Amino acid sequence: FGSLNASASGIGTTISTEKESVDLDWDSLGFGLVHTDYMYTMKCSRGESFCEGELVPFGNIEISPSAGVLNYGQGLFEGLKAYRKADGNILLFRPQENGTRMMMGAERMCMPSPSVAQFVEAVKATVLANERWIPPPGKGSLYIRPLLMGSGSVLGLAPAPEYTFLIYVSPVGNYFKEGLSPINLIVETEMHRATPGGTGGVKTIGNYAAVLKAQSAAKAKGYSDVLYLDSVHKKYLEEVSSCNVFVVKGNIISTPAIKGTILPGITRKSIIDVALTQGFQVEEKAVTVDELLDADEVFCTGTAVVVSPVGSITYLGKSVSYGSSGVGLVSQQLYTALTQLQMGLTEDKMGWVVEL
């Protein structure tokens, strides 16, 4: 057992940590919750700033039935991952970006937010406290789930009087049951994920509840997930339930431009930069369904899905397949470049990786 005194980061708690890996079947990890040792919580009142948080044993939280988050959906979440390197050190990928995105989302949802520095320190402390749950190199990652919610009571519609920032973690493997094999998507033509002026561009919890019906129907028909169209013209791509989408045609890689209805993914942004450094031309623009159906390759990006190749798209009853079988070359190339960086296997010329 080791001891982690987190007070240097303003956390003010001394906890016992065991560094040696837990005895888990790392090869059968999927994307489901595995309970770990500690979670981080920090509270503040409306109109004030977050100041001091603490690590507490992982477990259920007590919340008023009239909490803002339960009644009116006043909540945001984030997602990022920690990887274990062969030398035992731990790497985070661009955690400041998640902290910044949470601040922007909090502004839209009328919530106070931790500063980026507080966010990153809390993430680091939570990862270190749960170090023994980080999968060995090549066996997955520790998924980090920060939440920000209106935890105070309200009855009439209004911002909650009190807020809770909480981080929990879970070791994870692949998000889709297909693993790294191509996924099959269906284009949704009736239901929409977001509308102009709404909250599609922030990581609010309601955006994810809104896609469950279409996603469940697609899964029942054997599809991996749903690709949404814009709600105005119903012909431009938006995103998949849990990730952003890219289409490849020759040397040009296109992805829907960020315009308020699309989540500004950190993996999306990173893949754009990686693709540019690898000699591709990248276009952030309005991408039509026709371009999707005419593409050489299609892939999705997200923290959870990483880079997931798409094997087929079904639109209005017709299916289009990409490549003969297996992962497209461009998707494979970008997946490898990104994951090697995240796992510390290539030099980080971008300055994206944070070593703990």
For binding to ligand COI (CB under 6 A), which residues are involved?
Answer: 79, 208, 242, 302-304
| Separation of alpha carbons 309 and 181, rounded Å | 7
Q: How far is the CB of 296 from ligand COI (least distance, A)?
A: 25
Three-class secondary structure of residue 149 per DSSP: strand
Give the residue carrying structure tokens 């996603």: 215
Minimal distance, residue 305 CB to ligand COI, in Å: 6
At 284, give phi and psi (nearest 5°). -100, 110
- DSSP alpha helix (H) spans, the chain: 68-72, 95-108, 116-129, 205-209, 212-220, 266-277, 289-293, 329-342
Q: How far apart are CA 64 and CA 243, in angstroms?
A: 32
Nearer to ligand COI, 11 or 305 (CB): 305
- The strand ranges marked E within the chain are 2-5, 14-17, 38-45, 53-57, 75-77, 80-84, 90-93, 141-150, 162-172, 183-188, 225-229, 237-240, 244-249, 252-256, 281-285, 297-302, 306-315, 318-321, 353-355
**How far does CA 42 lie from the centroid of its chain?**
21
Question: Of 199 and 303, which has the nearer Cβ to ligand COI?
Answer: 303
Known catalytic membership, residue 203: yes
Residues ≥6 apart with Cβ < 8 Å to 327: 180, 181, 182, 309, 335
All residues at 6 or more sequence positions from 134 whose CB lies less than 8 Å from its CB, including other chains: 21, 82, 83, 84, 90, 127, 141, 142, 171
Backbone Cα Rg of the chain: 20
Q: Whole-angstrom Cα distance, residue 207 to residue 157? A: 19
Closest to ligand COI by CB, 70 or 205 = 205
43, 139, 177, 203: which one is catalytic?
Answer: 203
CB of 79 vs ligand COI, minimal distance in Å: 2
Closer residue to ligand COI (CB): 4 or 119: 119
Minimum distance of ligand COI from residue 18's CB (angstroms): 27
Name the DSSP class of 310.
E
Query: How many Å apart are CA 266 and CA 251, to the nearest integer?
Result: 22
Q: Which residue lies nearer to ligand COI by CB, 164 or 204?
A: 204
Give the closest residue to 42 by CA, choosing from 122, 107, 125, 127.
Answer: 122
In the bound state with ligand COI, the residue whose beta carbon lies nearer, of 225 and 297, is: 225
Residue with smaller CB distance to ligand COI, 79 or 323? 79
Least distance in Å: CB of 33 to ligand COI?
Answer: 12
12: amino acid identity, one letter: G
Q: Residues 348, 281: contact at Cβ < 8 Å?
A: no
In angstroms, give the least distance from the CB of 211 to ligand COI.
9
Minimum distance from residue 336 beta carbon to ligand COI (Å): 19
Catalytic residue numbers, as ranges: 203
